[in-house]
Amino acid sequence: MGYELLEILKNRRSIRKFKEEKVAKEVIEQVLKAGLLAPSSKNKKPVQFIVVEDKDTLLKLKECKSKGADAFNTAPCAIVVIADNQLSDVWIEDASIATILLQTAAENLGLGSVWIQMRNRQNNIGNSEDEVRKVLNIPENYGVLSIVAIGYKDEIKEPYNENSLDFSKIHYDKY
């Protein structure tokens, strides 16, 4: 039985160090189901996923970004989140929803994850999105939003505490 949703959200932290243990295909499929269930504008479903488990490819993806991609050093798996920008003018929002649902499902299944942003990021060659497209042979009409590194946690982070929530950010009826 899984956590209650609020508990999952409190426990979900960005994990950047993973154990060497491979994640079973069935477990990855459960994570992907959450992504496929993501709502999208006008139910157009523009989001697609590329599962990467090959270590050499994971290290090539790390090179697509100048910094913030060290999780690929230890991650046994990554899910690249792309969306057809010709099918939806709000593909970024649709892909963002799918990305966080992947992370929520991963946490619920006892996995760690981290969202590695690719859209609007650079490496020493140029645009991170373009570099990911080259590595994975992604068509030009697909935006590359993020890559979610996934695996069994090899670091411990304290859950978020409800007492630290800033309720001053909540407004009723008007600002």
Residue 165 lies in a domain: no
Spatial contact of 99 and 148, defined as CB atoms under 8 Å apart: yes
Residue 160 located in a structural domain:
no
Tell me the CATH number at 58. Answer: 3.40.109.10
The reported pLDDT for the residue numbered 1 is 43
Task: Output the pLDDT for position 59.
Answer: 97
Domain assignment of residue 169, yes or no: no
Residue 172 belongs to a domain: no
Position 92 in a domain: yes
Per the domain annotation, does 34 fall within a domain? yes
Asked, for residue 130, whether it belongs to a domain, the answer is: yes
pLDDT score, position 98: 98
C-alpha 74/C-alpha 52 separation (Å) is 13
Q: Which residues of the chain have pLDDT under 70?
A: 1-3
pLDDT of residue 77: 98
- Residue-number span of the structural domain to which 127 is assigned: 11-151
Q: Is residue 1 part of a domain?
A: no
Q: How far apart are the first and last CA of the chain?
A: 40
Q: How many domains does the chain have?
A: 1
Task: Give every CB contact of residue 130 below 8 A, 6+ residues apart in sequence.
Answer: none
pLDDT single digits (tens) 110-143: 999 999 999 999 999 899 999 999 999 999 999 9
